[in-house]
Amino acid sequence: MFDEFLKRALKLHSTDDPFAVAVVVRCESPTSGKPGDRAIISMDGKISGWIGGGCAQPIVIQEALKCLQDGKARLIRVSPTAGAEPVDGITGYTMMCHSGGTLDIFIEPVPARPHLLIFGRSPVATTLAGLASVLSYRVSVVAPEESRTEFPAADVFIEKYQEGAIKMTPHTAIIVATQGEDDEGSLEQALQLDAPYIAFVASAKKWEAVSAYLRESGISEDRLKKVKVPAGLDIGAAVPEEIAVSILAQTIQARRKSKVSDLPRLQILEQARAKDPVCGMMVNVAGAKYTTNLGAQDYYFCCAPCKSSFDKDPGQFMTVC
């Protein structure tokens, strides 16, 4: 099972898809999950691995998605008496399933690598690609084919940008470091992409001339205002290495301050959940194994005993729904 866990983690990491890891760190019997059991939760809310039965899984998925949203690890406790004695640093959930027992589960986010998209083959561009790779960025480069060997650290290298050729993320940073080689064309391409950070390696005077051309070409003023010129933090950089450092520092600053999240996906998942009318646990509607239709209403259950109890006497559980 551990091999499958590693394969899944490596697959998601190789495609730069964020995920969360949940590990059982403590238990009080009776529980099906044991210390060392672990699972991976992807951004679509799917769980692979094992951390315990059906009662714990919806809670772990919910907390894992929140973990990916805010980037913070957390420790949760699923127990019949979780809310009775709050413990600092532990988020408690009451397990109302018949099995009882307590699970302490540590959930940690594994974010996608930050992504740097570089236009150009200038000294700043080549230096930037190398430094970004050292900082574990995913590096994509758009530059003439003859310069491919100058970017040994690039994950993706293409001669001309085409839609879909490079995987973009909400945290992609775009640097136009063409420095005289098709500045306008590269900026037009960059501005077509919905990236939160776009910078142009040029002086304010050069930008004045280039932006005038882009404005005449139909680029809106709002889009032009997105371009940071000069690129990078003002640290008095003079040589390509220093300029590259200042740019990377600015991309880090922008990423840390970003409010971009996957909240819409979390909301969609929450809307597709229903409360088990017997035990009160939240159940994923999609693919629910235990269901009952009563009149025009569908009811969802975490396990067969809950469904059986409801089917025998639905009336006693109606106030819980």
Give the percent of the chain with pLDDT over 70. Answer: 91
Question: Rounded to an integer, what distance in angstroms lies between the CA atom of residue 63 and that of residue 39?
Answer: 13
Q: SS3 of 308, please?
A: helix
Q: Are 47 and 80 in contact (CB under 8 A)?
A: no
**Which pLDDT does position 299 carry in this prediction?**
92
Which of 42-51, 68-77, 201-210, 284-293 has the least mean pLDDT?
284-293
- Confidence tier at 271 by pLDDT (50, 70, 90): low
**Which pLDDT does position 149 carry in this prediction?**
95
74-79 and 47-49 as β-strands: parallel, antiparallel, unpaired? Answer: unpaired
Written as one letter, the residue type at 193 is L
Residue 77: strand pairing partners: 92, 104
Angle between helices 123-134 and 240-257 (to 10 degrees): 50
- Confidence tier at 98 by pLDDT (50, 70, 90): low
**Which pLDDT does position 321 carry in this prediction?**
47
The average pLDDT across 273-296 equals 81
Question: Rounded to an integer, what distance in angstroms lies between the CA atom of residue 63 and that of residue 105?
Answer: 10
Question: Rounded to an integer, what distance in angstroms lies between the CA atom of residue 191 and that of residue 219?
Answer: 8
Beta strand extents in 178-257 (DSSP E only) = 197-200, 227-228
- Confidence tier at 261 by pLDDT (50, 70, 90): low
Which of 47-51, 239-243, 281-285 has the least mean pLDDT?
281-285
Q: What is the pLDDT of residues 180-230, one digit of tens each?
A: 999 999 999 999 888 889 999 999 999 999 999 999 999 999 999 999 999
Q: What is the pLDDT of residues 140-193, one digit of tens each?
A: 999 999 999 999 999 999 998 888 788 888 889 999 999 999 999 999 999 988
Q: Residue 174's closest CA among 211, 200, 143, 209? A: 200
Q: SS3 of 152, please?
A: coil
Q: Residue 116's closest CA among 193, 223, 180? A: 193
Cis peptide before 111 (omega within 30 of 0): no
The pTM score is 0.74
Q: SS3 of 103, please?
A: strand
| Six token digits for residue 158 | 């293409």
| Six token digits for residue 70 | 């805010």
Give the percent of the chain with pLDDT over 90. Answer: 53
Q: Are 212 and 193 in contact (CB under 8 A)?
A: no
The domain limits of the chain are 2-110, 115-257, 273-320
Question: Rounded to an integer, what distance in angstroms lies between the CA atom of residue 319 and that of residue 315?
Answer: 8
The average pLDDT across 238-249 equals 96
| Six token digits for residue 31 | 């529980």
Question: Rounded to an integer, what distance in angstroms lies between the CA atom of residue 310 and that of residue 294?
Answer: 11
CA angle (27, 33, 38) in 5-degree steps: 105
Q: Which CATH code fits 115-257?
A: 3.40.50.720
Residue 157: strand pairing partners: 141
The average pLDDT across 59-64 equals 90
Chain-wide mean pLDDT for the chain?
87
| Six token digits for residue 194 | 């919905």
- Answer whether residue 264 shows pLDDT above 60: no
